[in-house]
Chain A
């Protein structure tokens, strides 16, 4: 199966025709009135240059790295400080992809956490307390699934490959060894770099937020189904690529 990810429309039409669709068990029975809106938000999203800012090119211009938010992108930038943002053609293109739901949890956690951050310590403490109360409220957590895409951290990963022929990209699946695998391939010494692939542990609040969201996902299969639907292009991508 050869896919060129021109845009969301093409990959969704491909997915509709793909027999693998049944493997993901897309039971579209979540009774929110806003299922239709998912379609709108997908159509609305065209990256229009966003991906350009996320490209790193090696000094010898052999490699291009598409850094996707929440896919160890900060760690990659730290690992490859000599690489620059350039719009050039390179023989090889690399990217890290991540389990879509795992990535969404990380992204939505970051979104919520960001609301508590301010330079005013008193205000920040108050906001942290307020966020604690919010994540104890089931209705609040359920509402998050009605606006799951907030920013680049929760945009589907496949959107970042808009216009690329994915068959020419060397993909790495996100896990605790991903940076060492990347550094080995591009011949960069990673020994001085911490594999900073789980920044959520930086903050107790972040851990609590992500734990609560996981609880909801386990409690309400409909929520998981919504994410499957929303990120189905990512699941196609994830299932189709060759692991490196």
Chain B
């Protein structure tokens, strides 16, 4: 019988994932608790992932270095900092043998990333049709954020767009061992820059603060983030649902730490 873990990894079937995965016993335990050096995941590598999305690669041919861009993992900041670098997809890079020797990937706590991604999706509703922010829509959104039922439904939906797709899916076509990982935090850009300091020069940090923490500068986003975090703090069920949804990302985090 397939374990829940395999079900998620092999299938990546959102429907099954939401409705077939048994949310009980081990399934509710985080990857950190399930796996250890003594009890490693029963997966040799991440090539078994079958993501639908080819990751975007930002690379410097001269430096033979590339950064795999993942939504909600400082990708906008990286684009702004590494100006002049070339953008392509992992698929194209593989097909045309353009894959740099040094590949970097920013990985983020899955629950934290889901909150950020869901915040972005909700905020977007206030900016579309009409293109400028409609005060009416903002008021409605604030109203919805007061509804526990609505917030719980969001955790049931889980994945709503690219920003909430599992980050490990963006590694499609790559072997996880050939990538240098950077954990997402407020200093991640500096750490990447330090890592690349020998091979890359003229990094423009001027727009760094604008892009690394956009959420903190927007009152609506701050409120949404607060409401979602409050829900996850008070509802174990909702939090576990999100953790189950991103099991493959927890696996990725564990594999990184095990190596």
- Quick one: which of B121, B137, B152 has the most chain A CB within 10 A? B121
Can you show 17 pairs from A to B with CB atoms below 8 A apart?
A32-B124, A33-B128, A34-B160, A43-B52, A45-B13, A45-B14, A46-B13, A48-B16, A130-B149, A139-B125, A140-B144, A147-B160, A150-B156, A150-B157, A151-B15, A152-B19, A222-B129
Q: Does B53 sit at the interface, judged by CB under 8 A?
A: yes
Q: Does B140 sit at the interface, judged by CB under 8 A?
A: yes
Pick the contact of A46: B11, B141, B150, B153 (CB < 8 A): B11
- Docked Cα-Cα span, A142 to B140, in Å, equals 12
Q: Which residues, 1 to 57 on B, are CB-close (under 8 Å) to A?
A: 11-16, 18-19, 52-53
Q: Is the CB of A138 within 8 A of B140?
A: yes
Q: Which 10 A-B pairs have the closest CB atoms?
A: A139-B140, A44-B14, A34-B161, A147-B157, A130-B149, A43-B52, A40-B52, A37-B161, A45-B15, A31-B128
Pick the contact of B13: A44, A143, A146 (CB < 8 A): A44
Q: Does B165 sit at the interface, judged by CB under 8 A?
A: yes
Q: Which residues, 28 to 85 on A, are CB-close (under 8 Å) to B?
A: 31-34, 36-37, 39-41, 43-48, 50
Residues of B bordering A, CB below 8 Å: 11-16, 18-19, 52-53, 121, 124-125, 128-129, 137, 140-141, 143-144, 147-150, 152-153, 156-157, 160-162, 165
The total of interchain contacts (Cβ-Cβ below 8 angstroms) comes to: 78
Q: Which residues, 100 to 145 on A, are CB-close (under 8 Å) to B?
A: 115-116, 127, 130-131, 133-134, 137-140, 142-143
Residues of A bordering B, CB below 8 Å: 31-34, 36-37, 39-41, 43-48, 50, 115-116, 127, 130-131, 133-134, 137-140, 142-143, 146-147, 149-152, 155, 222
What chain A residues lie within 8 Å of B160 (beta carbons)? 34, 37, 146-147
Shortest CB distance A179–B (Å)? 27
- Docked Cα-Cα span, A47 to B20, in Å, equals 11
What chain A residues lie within 8 Å of B53 (beta carbons)? 40
- Docked Cα-Cα span, A36 to B162, in Å, equals 9
What chain B residues lie within 8 Å of A138 (beta carbons)? 140
Q: Is the CB of B147 within 8 A of A134?
A: yes
Q: Is the CB of A134 within 8 A of B144?
A: yes
Q: Is the CB of A41 within 8 A of B128?
A: no
- Docked Cα-Cα span, A180 to B168, in Å, equals 51
Considering the complex, give the chain B residue whose CB is closest to the CB of A143: B125
Q: Is the CB of B11 within 8 A of A139?
A: no
Considering the complex, give the chain B residue whose CB is closest to the CB of A139: B140
- Docked Cα-Cα span, A150 to B15, in Å, equals 8
- Docked Cα-Cα span, A39 to B13, in Å, equals 13
What chain A residues lie within 8 Å of B141 (beta carbons)? 139
What chain A residues lie within 8 Å of B19 (beta carbons)? 151-152
- Docked Cα-Cα span, A41 to B14, in Å, equals 8
